[in-house]
């Protein structure tokens, strides 16, 4: 993958300050992917995860080697379909929780599979 300039000075999201011009090189693979052989990408669809900034059309980086623990955002396969939700423990069982208050959490069906952990979300800010 190509390398891109990375300015050492962070950009402030408040009052603007001039950049001091120092830069390094950043290879996006190194930043986005921890376990290359276990990582894949897919597009998000729908509005169930907007509360954590995942929007319809976003590109999700999913790592199958990351530990599956409560609180992580995961890709689950349920009845041969994939869904992106937060994994939680509730009443001693695994549940999936949408990050949209209009959607209720639901128990993870017994025959489902956690396919991977979402590690990054790439959101197109130019998308109208």
Per residue in 11-26, pLDDT (tens digit) is 676 655 555 555 677 7
Residue among 85, 97, 102, 127 flagged as catalytic:
85
In terms of domains, do 74 and 14 share one? Answer: no
In terms of domains, do 84 and 60 share one? Answer: yes
On whether residue 127 sits in a domain, the answer given is no
C-alpha 16/C-alpha 69 separation (Å) is 39
Q: What is the CATH number of the domain that holds 67?
A: 2.10.109.10
Query: Which SS3 state, helix, strand or coil, does residue 23 take?
Result: strand
In terms of domains, do 40 and 84 share one? Answer: yes
Sign of CA dihedral 41, 45, 49, 51: positive
In terms of domains, do 40 and 68 share one? Answer: yes
In terms of domains, do 60 and 118 share one? Answer: yes
Give residue-wise pLDDT tens across range 53-80: 999 999 999 999 999 999 999 999 999 8
**Is residue 97 flagged as an active site residue?**
no
Two tokens, residue 3: 């390398």
Listed in order, strand segments (DSSP E) in the chain are 3-7, 23-27, 39-43, 59-63, 73-78, 81-90, 93-97, 106-107, 113-122
**Is residue 17 flagged as an active site residue?**
no
Domain count, the chain: 2
- Domain coverage including residue 5: 1-32
């Amino acid at each position: 993958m190509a390398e891109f300039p990375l300015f050492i000075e962070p950009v402030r999201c408040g009052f603007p300050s001039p950049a001091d011009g120092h830069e390094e090189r950043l290879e996006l693979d190194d930043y986005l992917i921890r376990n290359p052989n276990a990582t894949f990408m897919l597009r998000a669809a729908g509005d169930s995860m907007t509360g954590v900034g995942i929007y319809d059309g976003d590109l999700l980086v999913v790592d199958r080697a990351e530990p599956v623990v409560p609180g992580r955002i995961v890709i689950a396969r349920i009845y041969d379909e994939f869904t992106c939700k937060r994994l939680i423990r509730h009443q001693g069982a695994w549940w999936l929780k949408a990050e949209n208050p209009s959607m209720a959490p639901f128990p993870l069906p017994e025959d489902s599979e956690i396919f991977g952990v979402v590690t990054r979300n790439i959101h197109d800010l130019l998308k109208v």
